[in-house]
Amino acid sequence: MSKRFVEDELRSRGALLTGPLGRMLSNSIRRGLQEASRLGHGEKILLPPIGDPEFEMSRVGAHMESTAEMLKAATDALRDAKEELQRVSNEAMATAGPLEETLLKHLKDIRDSRMAAVREAREILAALQDVRKFFVDKDYDREMERMERLVRVCREFQALKADGVLDAMIDAALKLAAGPEPKA
């Protein structure tokens, strides 16, 4: 409710007083009307003109008292809301400490796991690149021939061992390496 509207309303009702005392009373009435409308009490307060026999200062005072009561009730409600908000905030802060520690621990575990996975993936990729390089390399044919020869030699050793020839050769080599037996 604007100041201009209140003054026009008071003037039309003959309630706008002049002089220092009148201005003080008019200002009090205007403030009371503004507070009542601001607090959501939208009913229009009609005051009879000052000269009217229905005009009573006690009604204006009663209105001002009801406005003060509304303000007190609103202040009490705000105070209660502030206390509840403070209580909830304190509970949240008390919970935040342990929760933060737990979250930091889990975050560290996740980072460690990620770093291990990245490191292992790098090692696997390096090994796969070596295998790929072996198959794509220009010396692939020559290396394959060498491996085939190695496999043939291993198979021949296996056959000699199965026949006992390899064991006999090893025994003879050990006797030659040891030298002649001392005569007793």
Higher pLDDT, 51 or 152: 152
Determine, yes or no, domain membership for 123.
no
Q: Domain count of the chain?
A: 2
* Dmax (CA) of the chain: 158
| Mean of pLDDT values over 57-63 | 62
**Same-domain status, 168 and 89:** no
**Same-domain status, 82 and 10:** yes
Higher pLDDT, 111 or 81: 111
**Same-domain status, 12 and 82:** yes
How many Å apart are CA 84 and CA 16, to the nearest integer?
Answer: 43
Higher pLDDT, 68 or 151: 151
pLDDT of 27 reads: 59
**Same-domain status, 156 and 86:** no
Determine, yes or no, domain membership for 175.
yes
Which amino acid does the sequence have at 163?
D
How many Å apart are CA 57 and CA 37, to the nearest integer?
Answer: 21
User: Where residue 153 falls among pLDDT bands split at 50, 70, 90?
Assistant: very high
| Mean of pLDDT values over 87-94 | 84
**Same-domain status, 91 and 144:** no
H-type helices in the chain, by residue range? 3-12, 19-38, 57-136, 140-163, 165-178
- The domain boundary residue, chosen from 65, 97, 129: 97
| pLDDT tens-place string over residues 32-49 | 655 555 555 545 555 555
Determine, yes or no, domain membership for 73.
yes
pLDDT of 142 reads: 87
| pLDDT tens-place string over residues 109-137 | 999 999 999 999 999 999 999 888 877 77
Determine, yes or no, domain membership for 54.
yes
How many Å apart are CA 73 and CA 150, to the nearest integer?
Answer: 100
Question: Which domain covers residue 26, as residue numbers?
Answer: 3-97
